[in-house]
Chain A
Amino acid sequence: MIDIAWSQFTPGTALAGGLLIGISAASFLLLNGRIAGISGILGGLLTPMRNDIIWRVAFLAGLIGAPIIWQLFADLPAIEINAGYPAIIMAGLLVGLGTRYASGCTSGHGVCGLSRLSLRSLVATLSFMATGFLTVFVIRHLIGA
């Protein structure tokens, strides 16, 4: 039996934000002809090739700039990070290494890949979802219990 956290459930803003993410990916695809995959855009900067740097930096600047611009006009919604530093470092290493081996993350596989009905992306999404659920289960209910 699944217990729903109704007090935290925010389908409206979740859907609105999701549509914006979709519009971002769609405009990047239809205007620039590229997949908006964040791990790939970032990772590509580590093996820089000619004419392949500026657009990556621009995309990341827009992404990093979003909370900065937001804060000029309003308070940013809470960013609650409860993991400690060793966990954050371990998580970062796993996310960096894993997404490069997988050639994509939540955006490239989960959003864009599923949208173009790619089998590879479906397998990737099911794989990271499975270990994501499992990891939280282990941390919160086995170790934390």
Chain B
Amino acid sequence: MKYTLTSLFAGFLFGLGLIISGMANPEKVLGFLDIAGLWDPSLAFVMGGAIIVGLISFTFAKKRTLSFLGFDMKMPTKTKVDKRIVFGSMMFGIGWGIAGFCPGPGLVAFGAGEIKGVVFVASMVAGMMLFEIIERKRARSA
């Protein structure tokens, strides 16, 4: 129950942060990515602000095996830089540059009732399903 509530709280706070920062507005995101046009560097401050808090929290987290609520710390275990992370990220960046949506802002636009936000989220979920299908086929043929 606690775990569910803190998840809800964290998601809500994340959404508020996206709205306040301007990150939930694709046109603003594209203004940041358009370095050759009139460049709006605002979103660098979003990343900067988030990472400052993040850096502090991870120095606490690194020393712990249990969270403050007593749950297991589930940290990523992969350390290898492989083709999947490079090409996957490159693919993601192309999609990000086309519409100005990454997953979080897409979900916020969905919640705001924007039809294009709904279409983006549906397409994103379809892309994720495609990944599962491809991976399952690969596992079977391996």
Q: Please give the residue numbers on chain A whose beta carbons come within 8 Å of chain B beta carbons, in ascending order.
A: 2-5, 8-11, 13-36, 38-39, 42-43, 46-47, 54-56, 58-71, 76-83, 85, 87-103, 105-107, 109-120, 123-125, 127-137, 139-141
Contact = CB atoms under 8 A, between A and B. Distances in A.
Given A66-B16, A70-B16, A97-B91, A77 B53 contact: no
A136 to B, nearest CB: 4
A137 B34 contact: yes
Contacts of B142: none
A106 B117 CA distance: 17
Interface of B: 3-28, 30-31, 33-58, 60-62, 66-69, 71-76, 78-81, 84-104, 106-112, 114, 116-117, 119-132
Contact of A88 (B7, B27, B87, B116): B116
Nearest to A47: B132
A26 B53 contact: yes
Contacts, number: 492
A141 B18 CA distance: 28
Given A58-B8, A127-B90, A106 B103 contact: yes
Contacts of B38: 3-5, 8
Contacts of A11: 41-42, 45
A18 B25 contact: no
Nearest to B33: A136
Of B74, B103, B119, which is in contact with the most chain A CB atoms at under 10 Å from its CB? B103
Contacts of B10: 24-25, 27-28, 31-32, 36, 59, 62
A22 B50 contact: yes
A17 B97 contact: no
A28 to B, nearest CB: 4
A8 B42 contact: yes
Contacts of B106: 92, 95
Contacts of B4: 54-55, 58
Nearest to A64: B111
4 smallest A-B Cβ distances: which pairs? A96-B127, A17-B21, A92-B123, A66-B15
Contacts of A8: 28, 31, 38, 40, 42
Contact of A97 (B112, B121, B130): B130
B119 A85 contact: yes
